[in-house]
Amino acid sequence: MDELDGAIVAALQADGRRSNRDLAAQLGVSPSTTLERVRALRQSGVLAGVHFVVDPARLGRPVQAMITVRLRPQSREVVLGFRNFVLTLPETLQVFVTTGAEDVLVHVAVPSTQALRDFVLDSLTKRREVAGVRTDVVFDHERRHVVAPVGP
């Protein structure tokens, strides 16, 4: 990635719906150059899609939590199976497979603390492979939407 690719990535992270013509004008290059670069960034996997950011609270799920899960036995099959299961649950926003004392970190959004309790007890702890959970309620959640490429 060169400087122009980095500028394209930053601009599209800020507004992925902008037209190629507007992007080219902002960057001071021709639309054909911009289009070629964007296509190459898509093909290489740097640009993987365009998504809207949704506010879970406005969808009736104002309570967010981070739930760490310890699994037993620790095997690829168990960890990936649990990850795939959690991804099917509508409360799940993100899932991270981690190292350390816990194996999986699950970010959820639910309607209430009661719903959070029910989610943990009814969806997670009833599974045989779950050896333990720890739930931390999220007070504030801010996401950084622009990821800068690593410099040379």
Domain residue ranges of the chain, discontinuous segments joined by +: 3-43, 56-138
Contact 90, 51 (CB under 8 A): no
Same fold across 3-43 and 56-138:
no
Contact 26, 11 (CB under 8 A): yes
What's the CA gap between 63 and 71, in Å, rounded? 25
Q: What is the pLDDT along the chain (152 residues), one digit of tens a residue?
A: 899 999 999 999 989 999 999 999 999 999 999 999 999 999 999 999 888 888 999 999 999 999 999 999 999 999 999 999 999 999 999 999 999 999 999 999 999 999 999 999 999 999 999 999 999 999 998 888 778 777 66
The hierarchical CATH code for the domain 56-138 is 3.30.70.920
Q: What is the pLDDT of residue 144?
A: 81
pTM given for the model: 0.83
Task: List the beta bridge partners of residue 96.
Answer: 105
CATH topology of domain 3-43: Arc Repressor Mutant, subunit A (1.10.10)
Residue owning tokens 């150059």: 33
